[in-house]
Structure 1
Amino acid sequence: MGIRILVADDEPDIVLSLSDRLSWLGHDVTSADDGQAALTALESQPADLVFLDMEMPRMSGIEALKQIRRRWPDLPVIILTAHGTIGLAVEAMKEGAADFLTKPFESGHLDSIIAKALERNGLKSEITRLLGEISHDVKNLLMPLVTGTDLLAGELDELFKKLPEIEAVRAQASHQVCDEVIQMLRNTSERIQGRMKGIADYVAATRAPQRFESCHLVKVADSVATSLQVLLDQKQIALRMEGLDNLPPIMADEQRLYSALYNLVHNAVPEVPPRGSITIRGSLDTAGRSIVLTVQDTGRGMPPAIRDSLFTTRVLSRKAGGTGLGTKIVKDAVDAHGGQISVESQEGKGTTFVIRLPIHLSPVSEKSAGSV
């Protein structure tokens, strides 16, 4: 079955030969002669696969690849490179390219690379789907376990209360063992619930199509505060907001920003002691082109190993059984908006996340926002 393929290269002969071969194989092929044109083409017509040359005018292949990874993270990209630029191809693979093809290419090699790229992408989609189904099923299975644990605890308490005094003394050790088992069940259930929530959040953020519209960050922050108010009250933590009312609207995907902000605040809660605080603060940068959003807590801070691993492939989690998926959701959301995120933290002095978001999207992104 044919797929939609974009070929981006500034050499007309390469575009022609590659397009002819792909069309002969039954694929629908479009072309672009530089990186910026490639992004524009993807905005107007989605593709299933992209061939991207590394050295093009206006926008290099590596920069175009970075933009594609931010906007269309599941779109497989195959790099086109000459023999003398293999180093660039290796760099592109580190940036998320699916494979690379050396020019001049052989037809058999081309067919094999296309098949492998589509197979890997299909497998990734299938894994994401399965994770969603597993998360849903496990959450349903956990409900009777949690409810049953509470019922068992209540029944045992009533039973031991009704025992004669002498029997109650003898049963004290048994009661203690039962309490320990019940607590173990509760702790394990909570850990499984936390893991499943992390997977569910990641799947939701991965599957949801991006929708860029005019967005007020104060509205996003208010939604996060409403969602977490009960938890914050239980932990006796104050959630403060400063400067958000004065911020201009930005072109953004509101749901993804909500997921990012929710994860930052939610992850901070276990680190903050009672009567501590979490502050969401917003301001404009000096040039007036970006919004600076900070999430600052009065928690215990992070050791350097954990702080420096954030937003990398070796991310570590301080939570028992933590997956680090929450951190990935935050980073992916910021990247999708062309923003930047950094963290400042010191043990015993709290943690501050700093997010910079452009007020206006790039021309390509603005076109996307208007066409959704």
Structure 2
Amino acid sequence: MNGDRILIVDDEADIALILKLQLEDIGYRTVRARDGAEALEILEGESFALVLLDIRMPRMDGMEVLARIRRDYPELVVVMMTAHGSEDIAVEAMKKGAVDYISKPFSSDDMKGRVERAIQYNRTRLENERLQRELDEQRQKMAAILRGMADMVVAVDRQGNVITLNGKAEELLAIRAEEVLGRPVEELLQADIPASRLPCRVVLTTGEPCLDVTYVVAQGKRRLPVLSSATPLRNATGEMIGSVEILHDMSTLKALEQEREDFVSMLSHDLKTPITAVVGSIDLVREGRLGTINAEQKEYLDSAVESCDEMVEMIDTLLDVHKFEAGRMQMAIAEEELAPLLRRILSRFEPVALRAGIRLFLHLPPAPILFPVDRSKFFRLLGNLLSNAIKFTPEEGEIEIRAEIVAEPLALAGPLSAAAYPPANLPVAGRFLLLTVRDTGAGVPADCLVSIFDRFVQAKNRRQGKTGGSGLGLAFCRKAMDAHDGFVWAESELDKGSSFHLLFPMERS
């Protein structure tokens, strides 16, 4: 009760007094109105939990008052009071909005019970209405979210029948929701994969989310590539009642990929062809076929050829990175002995290092090392690291290449985790070849030790090297090591040098 206020509307003073005493005895507060007109005046300025309303009164009878209350105060609960034998009128009043009636003369217990039930009923009704309003608001918000989503959303029940889809799905699949509601989802998503492999179907079978599945949906003559994920749809008790699949339209991305393919093709042909012509023309001059040249002229021509070679190498590196990313790089992995490979690479870079005033050192274990590797990719790997080391090491600096066999790869878990390798991918057992290229150059800032292996990224302090760079060499190193099932990472201290590590598995699965 909690002190709920009740308005007693009755022209009989003795009955009104009895009601007042009995109701206040159990905790209610009461106000009396002598007729319907007075009751309406009181309701204009005060609020009540319930109105006990007599049907027969002077000036304005109870039915008219009830109609006014229902119109002006729809949340107010009304219990009618009627003389014995007038139950038909009371029933009519209930049809017009009263929740109950009391027949006079009434018993105290019956009256109290009806009043309490009526108040509780009204509270429950108002709470249900409030919850319904909140539910409607949430549904409207969800509907607005679904309408505004750039991705397609399809929900299915436990049997895999469509229960809802959003506007984007209707638009891209060129179908109206009412045409497919209640139909099997595979009739809506006519995919190039079996129906059982649709993410929403997989979720219904496993009860677990199914993420990042690519397939193509047939939409008339059009084929719509999608990236799709699905999760279980559960009720308030946690029981799975269906699944929801979200499909991202990949058409634009596919178009961008095609543009990238076209751009790479342009690089491989339209850029390399004129460079080849330039080198050929320079060679004619260098060989003296167009007239005698002196030593200074030859030096300039040699420098021009070197610049063209750098440009070709940059294009080749970009092409190789692209091939790795597209999964089209051909790998020719075979057992190779490490020492001859390293000496061949060093023979290429020793003259360059000598001109730069840099000392090169090679440290190898006494026993020969055989490991599976793609010879050409290995030359590019070490070549990129040595080229960078020479570029960023000052005169009278040192560059060291060291090789060792690692039998406990878990000891390297810390540096590898710091190099942005997922913990699940880290080696836990086996024998590995660890190659380290260490220099005494400018070093790499700690916040760049991971990002320098991304395409077109260079550490700020390394952009000021002896020559500029494209930011592709280390990206190639990362892709090539991934292709070898190996790992690459860097450690550095500013102004003291950097160490780049390559970890090759000695056996391939």
Scaled to the shorter chain, the TM-score interval is 0.5 to 0.7
Distance 1:192 1:321, change over 3 A: farther
Q: Post-superposition shift, 1:22?
A: 4.3
Distance 1:61 1:82, change over 3 A: closer
Q: Post-superposition shift, 1:149?
A: 10
Secondary structure of the corresponding residue to residue 209 of structure 1: coil
Alignment coverage as a number of residue pairs: 271
| Counterpart contact for 1:146–1:186, Cα < 8 Å | no
Are residue 81 (structure 1) and residue 197 (structure 2) matched?
A: no
Distance 1:130 1:247, change over 3 A: farther
Q: Post-superposition shift, 1:123?
A: 3.0
2:245 partner letter: K
**C-alpha separation in 2, matches of 1:242 and 1:31:** 58
Number of the residue aligned with 1:331: 478
Of 216, 220, 232, 2:341 maps to: 220
Are residue 126 (structure 1) and residue 269 (structure 2) matched?
A: no
Q: Post-superposition shift, 1:352?
A: 0.8
**C-alpha separation in 2, matches of 1:200 and 1:276:** 30
Q: Post-superposition shift, 1:325?
A: 0.9
Structure 2 residues without counterparts, runs of 5 or longer: 1-159, 161-184, 215-224, 234-243, 409-429
Secondary structure of the corresponding residue to residue 241 of structure 1: strand
Number of the residue aligned with 2:315: 199
| Counterpart contact for 1:306–1:315, Cα < 8 Å | no
Q: Post-superposition shift, 1:303?
A: 4.6
Q: Deviations over 1:179-202 (max 9, x none)?
A: 9xx999998886665344212233
Of 445, 457, 466, 1:315 maps to: 457
> Please, which moves more after superposition, 321-330 or 229-238?
229-238
Identity value in percent: 20
Structure 1 residues without counterparts, runs of 5 or longer: 1-12, 24-28, 34-51, 66-76, 86-101, 159-178, 367-372
| Counterpart contact for 2:488–2:500, Cα < 8 Å | yes
Q: Post-superposition shift, 1:314?
A: 6.3
Query: Which protein, 1 or 2, shows the higher relative CO under an 8 Å CA cutoff with sep ≥ 6?
Result: 1
Q: Deviations over 1:204-232 (max 9, x none)?
A: 46364123322333343233223334323
Number of the residue aligned with 1:297: 439
Return the TM-score normalized by structure 2: 0.42
Secondary structure of the corresponding residue to residue 310 of structure 1: helix
Q: Which has the higher helix share?
A: 1
**C-alpha separation in 2, matches of 1:336 and 1:83:** 33
| Counterpart contact for 2:211–2:229, Cα < 8 Å | no
2:435 partner letter: L
Distance 1:31 1:272, change over 3 A: farther
| Counterpart contact for 1:300–1:350, Cα < 8 Å | yes
Secondary structure of the corresponding residue to residue 230 of structure 1: helix
**C-alpha separation in 2, matches of 1:280 and 1:346:** 18
**C-alpha separation in 1, matches of 2:433 and 2:376:** 18
Number of the residue aligned with 2:367: 246
Q: Deviations over 1:17-71 (max 9, x none)?
A: 59x9445xxxxx69998xxxxxxxxxxxxxxxxxx99x999xx978x99xxxxxx
Of 313, 320, 332, 1:211 maps to: 332
Q: Post-superposition shift, 1:248?
A: 4.1
Number of the residue aligned with 1:360: 507
Distance 1:326 1:156, change over 3 A: same
**C-alpha separation in 2, matches of 1:31 and 1:289:** 44
Output the aligned Cα RMSD: 4.9
Are residue 284 (structure 1) and residue 405 (structure 2) matched?
A: yes
Q: Post-superposition shift, 1:128?
A: 2.0
Return the TM-score normalized by structure 1: 0.55
Are residue 268 (structure 1) and residue 389 (structure 2) matched?
A: yes
Q: Post-superposition shift, 1:261?
A: 1.1
Q: Post-superposition shift, 1:360?
A: 2.5
